[in-house]
Amino acid sequence: MHRIDNLQYANWSEKIFREMREGSVDAVHVTITYHENFRETVANVEKWNRWFERYPDLIFQGRIGDDVRRAKKEGRTAIFFGFQNPSPIEDDIGLVEICHTLGARFMQLTYNNQSLLATGCYEAEDTGVTRMGKQVIKEMNRVGLVIDMSHSAERSTLEAMEVSERPIAITHANPSFWHSALRNKSDDVLKALGSSGGMLGFSVYPHHLKDGTNCTLESFCEMIAKTADLMGIENIGIGTDLCQDQPDSIVEWMRVGRWTKEIDYGEGSASNAGFPQMPSWFNGNLDFDNIERGLLEAGLSEAEVAGVMGENWLRFYDKNFGPA
Amino acid sequence: MHRIDNLQYANWSEKIFREMREGSVDAVHVTITYHENFRETVANVEKWNRWFERYPDLIFQGRIGDDVRRAKKEGRTAIFFGFQNPSPIEDDIGLVEICHTLGARFMQLTYNNQSLLATGCYEAEDTGVTRMGKQVIKEMNRVGLVIDMSHSAERSTLEAMEVSERPIAITHANPSFWHSALRNKSDDVLKALGSSGGMLGFSVYPHHLKDGTNCTLESFCEMIAKTADLMGIENIGIGTDLCQDQPDSIVEWMRVGRWTKEIDYGEGSASNAGFPQMPSWFNGNLDFDNIERGLLEAGLSEAEVAGVMGENWLRFYDKNFGPA
């Protein structure tokens, strides 16, 4: 059984890389871009190259599904790159292939705002996929860069699935039937995602959880079991959205970027502006055993739990990380 | 009387700068960006700086209305910079002030496609002004960078006027009551533009003209007279969209930029892909006398003609090219 966390954005350190190994995490999809343009994204790849050079016994760059199997065999963690914003391709469709060559495997068509490609979930209106968006989806399909709609608005998400000839992903979100939040997803989106072979990664970020920081492991795992019934047990996995050891200045950067001179609190509020406290049962890479145990207690079979904890993402990686 | 052409994008040369003088054109708003990012836009400013250095007897950079008066007095042409796309500010609101300092005086919130700020007229759907768009309009208002909606879709254009606390411009377009085209503007837009103190610049680009290349001077000038009735004689001027001496590769670049790998014909078609032939009565800066004569023949008074040929834009420059 392989264990995959399909979304983290920690304040990376040797400590965290060691915890990935101690927690038997074979692969992590890490966000390397929130608002960065192409050149700034390349600088972030350079940073990762230095970490790969410095900690070769702990981590290496993943590019295909087999790298997850290799990671498990060698007792390391494969790191896959992803973007939470299409800002790295700027206005240049040719950068889709370049970014894939550099290792990007997931790219959100939007962060919270309108992008050149589609609409983010914080906009008042949603036009769906734009003219450039349609062209870029075709190019992402060609090279095998997975479309991620975690932060996109509903219509854009449904249209992305229609336009895309390959399955898409929602790497880190939860169903809105469980906790209604702008970032969580409707039954319509989840059903369409499942029936098209797409994947949902369940988030442990408190603003996406019922009762926030006080969310119980039982409630979280029951929600997973219900979502499996809704969209298919093979179409779900984990995408914790873990932002371990990040200072609050980072969540402000995520929300505000460079697009406004005012404060935007996003999912938070003036009185709760920073990173929320994580639930007691999940603070980092050492805690995946808790989720695994919770899923068994929620009635999932061992094979089903293995699927959710990593095998489903691994099968998705195998199919979608290169030309069809 | 001052003569202003509020939109040109020629293949600049000494010949054209000399024609500006021979044609008594005191000021031209030149497009320096179609798809360029900030750094590329700076490179275009550098090119203009070399032209200013080389032809000081013909041209100089305009920054305020008085530069038009100075140009007339000194027998030169003041060149004002503008962008047909918000690409120079990328995703960075701080670049609004930087671009104004470098001399930008007009910025379109969109070219033909969806931008980070609003929707272009070639998109199927129009969401209006985005979250970032609202912030950027406020900042443009503050520094005195004029909002130009020439290529934007209807709802976005109306919303830009609502959100903006200062008048906006449509620098180069015609009314759709005269010639129905995606780029031309509805009565609703023109009325709102006039009543908010905004300006429309009439385009001579054949795709915006009734009967295209075969449009008559009489028809063009009658249309101007009717538009004056609709939105106010003080709110109209000229913005020819003259692309003198440009090769057809340039119109393809305008339409396609870097956003698609396919050909997009924009206002043209596969059988008519290049720049269209100009009408016989307007081929460049030597031909403004024709328009002036046509306007008198269409029944405008001498004072009204002076307004359309430059005084209206000059008054707009005086009010809008710096902090309120």
Neighbours of B296 (CB within 10 A): 14
Pick A122's closest partner by Cβ from B93, B115, B131: B131
**Is residue A318 exposed (0-12), middle (13-18) or buried (19+ Cβ within 10 Å)?**
middle
- With contacts defined as CB-CB under 8 Å, which chain A residues touch B115? 116
- The CATH number linked to A312 is 3.20.20.140
Q: Determine the Cα–Cα distance for residues A82 and A100; give it in Å rounded to an integer.
A: 10
Which tokens belong to A204? 């442990």
Q: Determine the Cα–Cα distance for residues B228 and B140; give it in Å rounded to an integer.
A: 27
Q: Summarize the confidence of residues B262-279 as an average pLDDT.
A: 88
- What is the domain range of residue A86? 4-320
| Predicted confidence (pLDDT) per residue in B280-311, tens digit | 999 999 999 999 999 999 999 999 999 999 99
- Contact criterion met (CB < 8 Å) for B261 and A90: no
Question: pTM of the prediction?
Answer: 0.88
- Structural domain count, chain A: 1
Task: Give me the interface pTM, i.e. the ipTM.
Answer: 0.79
- Contact criterion met (CB < 8 Å) for B114 and A114: yes
The pLDDT, as a whole number, for residue A95 is 95
pLDDT along chain A (324 residues), means of 10: 97 97 98 96 94 97 98 98 97 95 97 97 96 98 98 98 98 98 97 98 97 97 98 98 93 92 86 91 97 98 98 98 94
Q: Determine the Cα–Cα distance for residues B179 and A124; give it in Å rounded to an integer.
A: 33
C-alpha separations of B142 from A22, A65, B97, B139 in Å: 54, 52, 9, 5
Nearest to A266 by CA among A120, A73, A85: A120
Does position B264 have pLDDT exceeding 90, yes or no? no
Please, which pLDDT band fits residue B239 given cuts at 50, 70 and 90?
very high
The pLDDT, as a whole number, for residue B268 is 84
- Contact criterion met (CB < 8 Å) for A261 and B93: yes
- Contact criterion met (CB < 8 Å) for A131 and B125: no
Q: Please tell me the number of Cα atoms within 13 Å of B82 on its side-chain side.
A: 34
The pLDDT, as a whole number, for residue B66 is 98
The pLDDT, as a whole number, for residue A265 is 86
Query: Nearest residue on chain A to B122, judged by CA atoms?
Result: A131
- Is residue B2 in some structural domain? no
- Is residue B307 in some structural domain? yes
- With contacts defined as CB-CB under 8 Å, which chain A residues touch B139? 261
